[in-house]
Structure 1
Amino acid sequence: MEYEVVLPAAGSGKRMGAGQNKLFLQLAEKPILIHTLNVFEADVNCTGIWLAVKPEERLFIEALLAQYNITKVKGLPAGGEERQHSVHSCIKEMSNVNIVLVHDAARPFITHGIIERLASTAFVKGAAIAGVRAKDTMKKVRDGVITETVDRESLWMIQTPQAFRFDLLAEAEDVAEKVGFLGTDEAMLVERLGHEVHIVESSYENVKMTTKEDLIFGEAILASRKS
């Protein structure tokens, strides 16, 4: 199932404490961003990549794309203050797209198999997101006191990619912008339209590089895959 993918890449990486865009940090001697881009560059079903970037980082990112021979990038629109704004800026420039994926640029370990299941489910159902089942005991806490132990059988930890029929996500983004609603992810915007969002089971390896500890996990995953 062919698709195009949006990668918001205009974040600051404050939780990483790197003093720069965390996507430029090295993971096995390559920037995190390049690891993620390589996944989609190598996927025959990916027909285009859109990167929402900071204007001041555009030239540097263009140099990285040339250095690592990334050829599928169709545009680098200016990213917004929030992730939702960055995604919308890409959506506004896209055309003739059937299925669109939105993926965290800092999740470099997504696999082609999971991507294929997401795109196929979105084609049939309209919306599908990646997630894994909660493994730990989950509790609700208020003012430092446990108020309830939650049945984890119905709980999922949500990841990306999130996949949608393009017209559905475009409508959801437009409506959110019109009413000034800011969601936590694209699925939330689609849910507000009353549309069902389906879950596709992903992998616990599909971690997001958010803190310095995540870089250690990332190196271990790469070493494991290499061996």
Structure 2
Amino acid sequence: MKLGVIIASAGQSKRLGHNKVLMELGSKPVLLYSLEKFLAIKTLSELVIVIRAQDEMDVRDILSRAGYSHSKIKVVQGGKERQDSVHIGLKSLVDSDIVAVHDGARPFISLDLILKLIKEAEDNPAVIPALPVKETIKTVKNGYVESTPDREFLWSVQTPQVFKYEILINAYERAYKDNFYGTDDSSLVERLGYKVKVVEGEYTNMKITTKEDLLLARRYLELLGL
């Protein structure tokens, strides 16, 4: 099955002040870590990097300097929200049976996990990586606890999330028709009644959102000797 990949990198990065995927992490920009993993997959047909308009030249320069200016990679400008950006990325794919949607700010995704997700997607409409929640979660309103969900059933979701292409594009079209915005891609598929397969994720597959996350990521690279 032909694989299409969307790397969502058009976030506002309000907590860090600038686009985190362009930041240097060790010897290269954050974006290149996950990009290199996806480019190593033999079934990759096409890859779309969705970025902010003001970052396009920087991203193209990063790709050029890294030697990744080839036909499998497209760089497109995103939309107002993450969902809008992924939708633009989906419409940019032209030859994919399944599609993996990944946050560009998750640099440490492993090739092994990506391949597990792709394998599961052969027999499932949607597959996501997730980890069991380790801490107690509260629902809070106006500064007061409303309830304490049973932690046994709570999982923290990661990316890449992998889908049959036609199912995901249809889920997006339906979401816009219903004026629905989800917090991740699988929620759009769930609301159409599809079962979403969960594969255990990786604790190292962290998302860089805050300055503290960036410090942890740099420390992790040091421990790896990179």
CA contact (8 A) 1:47 1:72 kept: no
Aligned to 1:15: 15
Q: Hey, what does 1:25 align to over in structure 2? A: 23
Q: TM-score, normalised by structure 2?
A: 0.92
Deviations 1:58-96 (A, max 9, x none): 222111101012246432222000111111111112122
| Partners of 1:73 and 1:106 in 2: CA distance | 21
Cα-to-partner distance string for 1:165-196 (whole Å, 9 max, x where unaligned): 00000101111122222111110110111111
Letter in 2 for 1:148: S
TM-score norm. by structure 1 comes to 0.92
| Residue equivalent to 1:34 | 32
| Contact 2:48-2:92 within 8 A present in 1 as well | no
Say if 1:145 and 1:55 are closer, same or farther in 2 by CA, change over 3 A.
Answer: closer
Report the Cα distance in structure 1 between the residues aligned to 2:49 and 2:199, rounded to whole angstroms: 24
Distance 2:146 2:134 in 1: 20
SS in 2 for 1:76: strand
Bigger Cα displacement from structure 2, 77-86 vs 37-46: 37-46
Identity of aligned residues (%): 37
Q: CA RMSD in A?
A: 1.8
Aligned residue for 1:88?
87
**Partner SS state of residue 73, structure 2:** strand
In the TM superposition, residue 26 of structure 1 has moved relative to its aligned partner by 1.3
Identify unmatched segments of 5+ residues in structure 2: none
User: What stretches of structure 1 of length at least 5 have no aligned partner?
Assistant: none
CA contact (8 A) 2:46 2:93 kept: no
Question: Quick one: which amino acid aligns to residue 31 of structure 1?
Answer: P
What letter is aligned with 2:64?
A: A
Determine if contact 2:129/2:201 at 8 Å carries over to the other structure: yes
Count of equivalent residues: 225
Match of 1:187 in 2: 186
> In structure 1, how many angstroms separate the alpha carbons of the residues matched to 2:144 and 2:9?
38
**CA distance 1:159–1:72, change in 2 (3 Å):** farther
Alignment of 1:89-108 (within 5 A): 89-108=88-107
8 Å CA contact 1:123, 1:164 repeated in 2: no
Residue in structure 2 matched with residue 171 of structure 1 by the alignment: 170
